[in-house]
Amino acid sequence: MTTDTTAKTDRKTSVRRPHAWIWAALAGIVSAAALLAVAEALAALVARSASPILAVGSFIVDIVPRPLKELAITLFGESDKIALLAGVGLGAAVAAAVAGVLEYRFRFVGVVLLGIGGILATAAIVTRTGAGALSWLPPIVGTIAGVLVLMLAMVRLRRWVAAAIAQNVEATGTDRRHFLLFTGLTAVGAVVVGVGARVLNAATSSVAAARDALRLPAARSTVTVPADANWEIDGLSPIITPNADFYRVDTALSVPNVDPTTWRLSIEGMVDNPIELSFDDLVNMGLDEYGVTLTCVSNEVGGDLVGNAIWTGLPIRDVLRMAGVQADADMVLSESVDGFTASTPLSSLTDDNLDAIFAVAMNGEPLPFEHGFPVRMVVPGLYGYVSATKWVTKLIVTRFDKDEAYWTPRGYAAQAPIKMSSRVDTPKIGTPIAAGPVVVAGMAWAQPIGVEKVEVSIDNGEWQQTQLSTPINAQSWVQWKFDWTAEAGTHYIAVRATDAQGNVQIQDQAPIAPDGSSGWQRTLVTVS
């Protein structure tokens, strides 16, 4: 009889070692998310403008060289701010991931890097125009929270890795769950708190309610739009640009919410009587309507960074007269609540024949927030960067040889009259059309003189005069159209304008810097 003896052997289940650097990078990103969430939550309570992402983004806007700004506008148009914020967020995520990996490899190095990032964000916030007494608090507390999350996450990650190296199955599972649960809950919490804080920031703002409740005095004079000022041609821009379609180009990453009850306008500098006006003081001086086309200096030939609106406001010259401008002044430096400044020739603001205004309404309603509520400047004949200050709060009467505005040291001219221009709206480039009768139409502007005529040339042929719609005034753009019998093939349509003084639109091509683009637009059209 044979007895089988069973030998007992220790069997160890193999435990896979985690990819520590991946989980460390994730921990760094979650830590940064916690930092931002806490900062946003505190900002909603004590300092609405103390958002690290917005502050850093604004700082980048200030320091980015002019060619990169132009490239951003060319690539993204009015979505350039969204693209910038996405880039800042991506950059912050990458930096946080690096901090997480370094913290795992070299204890406290990642914590120091995260702390430095928080300090830089704090500096960006407290040095912005309009920073409050408690603006430092959200980023500092947020940084402390982010550092604590990173340290706690690393404790759990190191335990997980150590258990895996020791091939301790039970401890590995437990430590893995602890790490994943901690980072997962923190990430979810950061998203909920961060998004909730932004929503709370907007929802608790009384400014939107103040705008909705605002009742402006009736305008003493109104703009009459002639019956034949606007042709409804498919593809042709309307003579009055709807507020929702009006272009927006400015340096504000977050649209300022300014309460009209606390808003103040100060006039200082080279004046005999510095003054300060409230919103009620301003509108009670009397309001009128003005039809004015605005153009951005970033508008390329044929571009759409131009729009026309009926603005309600009062002449800037009336306010300057109250302050008593001194004789040797030649420039007014206007300042926005977010720190943006524009240099406007004094003569453009005091000319009795030029309707430079403080606007409080746009197309029959109080200014939209993104277009300067409660008060902005509108100056005919000048590109926006030297005149159209939104959310304006201060005018400093000075001289060009003493002061300069935001864009001047960044490569743009201190003075920039709008260049006469014209464009083809229809037919559009890249859209084939059928042979036969075709209406070629577009827009032209020559502020503040007015357009006298618009001509087109087909395939470099002779210039032919188009039909103009009845202009609202010399400070607004005008529509034009031309009846063309299109033949099959590829054709070029060129357009040029002539103003009321006989000046012909500049033919030579020029970039947008330093004082606006120029040239005749030539549109390639395919006829089938």
* Per-residue pLDDT tens over the stretch 89-143: 888 889 999 999 999 999 999 999 999 988 888 888 787 766 677 888 888 999 9
- How does pLDDT run across 472-519, given as a tens digit for each residue? 999 999 999 999 999 999 999 999 999 999 999 999 999 999 999 999
Over residues 353-381, the mean pLDDT reads 96
Length of the chain measured in residues = 528
Residue 225 scores a pLDDT above 80: yes
The strand pairing partners of 490, in sequence order, are: 526
Over residues 263-268, the mean pLDDT reads 97
Please report, to the nearest 10 degrees, the dihedral formed by the alpha carbons of residues 240, 244, 246, 248 taken in order. 170
Higher pLDDT among residues 285 and 81, named by residue: 285
Q: What is the pLDDT of residue 1?
A: 42
Q: What is the pLDDT of residue 86?
A: 78
The answer, yes or no, to whether the previous bond of 139 is cis (omega within 30 of 0) is no
First to last CA, the chain: 102
Residues whose CB is less than 8 angstroms from the CB of residue 462 and which lie 6 or more positions away in sequence, other chains included: none
Higher pLDDT among residues 428 and 468, named by residue: 468
For Cα atoms 238, 452, 476, give the angle at the middle one, nearest 5 degrees: 35
Exposure string for 311-347, b = 16+ CB within 10 A, e = fewer: bbbbbbbebbeebebeeebbbbbbbbbbbbbbbbbbe
Residue 56 scores a pLDDT above 80: no
Percent of the chain with pLDDT over 70: 90
Q: CA 332 to CA 353: how far, in whole Å?
A: 18
In DSSP notation, 182-243 reads HHHHHHHHHHHHHHHHHHHHHHT-SHHHHHHH--PPPPSS-----TTS----TTPPPSS--G
Single-letter residue type at 272:
D
Over residues 309-331, the mean pLDDT reads 97
Q: What is the pLDDT of residue 135?
A: 81
Q: What is the pLDDT of residue 149?
A: 94
Q: Out of 9-23, 188-202, 407-421, pick the least confident.
A: 9-23
What one-character DSSP code corresponds to residue 502?
S
Single-letter residue type at 497:
A
The strand pairing partners of 251, in sequence order, are: none
Q: Out of 212-216, 298-302, 379-383, pick the least confident.
A: 212-216
Q: What is the pLDDT of residue 85?
A: 72
- How does pLDDT run across 19-40, given as a tens digit for each residue? 889 999 999 999 999 998 898 8
